[in-house]
C-alpha cells in the first residue's frame, strides 16, 4: 500500500504526519511505525502522528514515539499537527483537537507560530535536587551547571531507567538558568531513548517547575532548546497552573509517498 506523508518540525523536534481520516493506516503495526521513523531506512522522525476524525472537535491526534509505541502527549507534535490541519484546510487560524490527555485549544499566526493550550497542572513533587510533574507526559526536571557539556544521553538514561520512575520511566530535563525569565534546557526523551533537539511538554514542565520552586516570578517564561526558542505562559493560583500555553514555530519540511 502506498501512503502520502508529510514531514513537520517544531524547533527541531520532527514528525512524520499522516492524514488518517479514512482510517486506512495500520496503527497497530509497531514495527512499521518504528521503520517509518528510522532515519536511515525510513522517513525519519522523533515520532509519527496520525490526524483522525473526532466527533466533538476539529480532529484527533494519535501520537507514536519513534520506537513504534503509542505514547502520551507531545507538545511540539501537537503544535505541528495544528499547522498540518491548517495545510489540509481542516482549520483556519484556530482549532480544538482531542489528544490522549484530553481536549486542546490552539491558534496559528500568519507567520506560522502555533500557540497550544496544555493541560492544567495541580500536582508537583519537589525533591531535594529535582522536580517531577506531568504536563501531558511525565517529566523529571533538574538544575545543572555547564549544560553545554553535559552527557544528556548517559545521564538521562540513568535517571529514566533508574529506580525512581519504575518501568514506565520519565522524560528527563536538564536546566540552566540564563536570567530572571529565561532558561536553557536539554531533554532526554523516553521512547526516542536519546536527546532530542526540543521537547514541548518538557519546556512546559521546566517553566512551571522553575516558577514553583521560586527560580522565577514571571508567568511568561522563555525556554531555549537545542533547536530554537519556545515560550510558556500560564496563570497560577494556590499551586494550580492553568491557562498554560506552549508557543513556538511549527514548520512544514517536505511531503512524499512511501510503500508500506
Residue pair 206/176 in contact (Cβ under 8 Å)? The answer is no
pLDDT in tens, 64-88: 999 999 999 999 999 999 999 999 9
Measuring CA to CA, which residue among 119, 117, 164 is closest to residue 142?
A: 164
Distance CA 48, CA 190 (A): 15
Positions marked catalytic: 74, 199
pLDDT confidence bin for 21, thresholds 50/70/90 = very high
| Cell digits of residue 46 | 522523533
| Predicted local distance difference test score (pLDDT) of residue 200 | 98
User: Strand 94-99 relative to strand 251-259: parallel, antiparallel, unpaired?
Assistant: unpaired
Measuring CA to CA, which residue among 42, 45, 41 is closest to residue 12?
A: 45
DSSP H helices in the chain: 30-37, 75-87, 152-160, 200-212
pLDDT in tens, 130-145: 999 999 999 999 999 9
pLDDT confidence bin for 47, thresholds 50/70/90 = very high
Distance CA 178, CA 200 (A): 19
Average pLDDT, the chain: 97
Residue pair 180/214 in contact (Cβ under 8 Å)? The answer is no
| Predicted local distance difference test score (pLDDT) of residue 125 | 97
pTM of the model: 0.96
pLDDT in tens, 97-129: 999 999 999 999 999 999 999 999 999 999 999
Average pLDDT (57-65) is 98
Average pLDDT (208-218) is 98
pLDDT confidence bin for 22, thresholds 50/70/90 = very high
| Predicted local distance difference test score (pLDDT) of residue 138 | 97
| Predicted local distance difference test score (pLDDT) of residue 235 | 98
Amino acid at each position: 500500500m502506498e501512503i502520502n506523508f508529510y514531514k513537520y518540525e517544531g524547533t527541531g523536534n520532527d514528525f512524520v504526519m499522516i492524514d488518517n481520516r479514512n482510517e486506512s493506516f495500520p496503527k497497530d503495526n509497531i514495527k512499521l511505525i518504528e521503520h517509518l521513523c528510522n532515519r536511515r531506512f525510513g522517513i525519519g522522525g522523533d515520532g509519527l502522528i496520525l490526524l483522525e476524525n473526532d466527533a466533538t472537535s476539529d480532529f484527533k491526534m494519535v501520537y507514536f514515539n519513534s520506537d513504534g509505541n503509542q505514547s502520551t502527549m507531545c507538545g511540539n507534535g501537537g503544535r505541528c499537527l495544528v499547522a498540518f490541519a491548517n495545510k489540509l484546510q481542516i482549520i483556519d487560524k484556530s482549532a480544538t483537537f482531542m489528544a490522549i490527555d484530553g481536549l486542546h485549544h490552539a491558534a496559528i499566526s500568519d507567520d506560522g507560530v502555533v500557540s497550544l493550550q496544555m493541560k492544567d497542572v495541580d500536582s508537583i513533587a519537589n525533591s531535594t535536587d529535582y522536580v517531577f510533574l506531568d504536563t501531558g507526559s511525565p517529566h523529571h526536571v533538574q538544575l545543572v551547571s555547564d549544560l553545554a557539556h553535559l552527557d544528556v544521553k548517559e545521564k538521562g538514561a540513568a535517571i529514566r531507567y533508574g529506580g525512581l520512575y519504575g518501568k514506565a520511566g520519565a522524560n528527563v530535563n536538564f536546566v540552566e538558568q540564563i536570567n530572571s525569565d529565561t532558561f536553557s534546557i536539554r531533554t532526554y526523551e523516553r521512547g526516542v531513548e536519546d536527546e532530542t533537539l526540543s521537547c514541548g511538554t518538557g519546556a512546559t514542565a521546566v517553566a512551571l517547575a522553575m516558577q514553583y520552586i521560586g527560580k522565577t516570578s514571571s508567568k511568561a517564561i522563555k525556554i531555549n532548546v537545542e533547536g530554537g526558542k519556545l515560550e510558556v505562559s500560564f496563570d497560577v493560583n494556590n499551586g494550580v497552573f492553568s491557562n498554560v500555553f506552549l508557543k513556538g514555530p511549527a514548520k512544514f519540511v517536505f511531503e512524499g509517498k512511501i510503500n508500506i
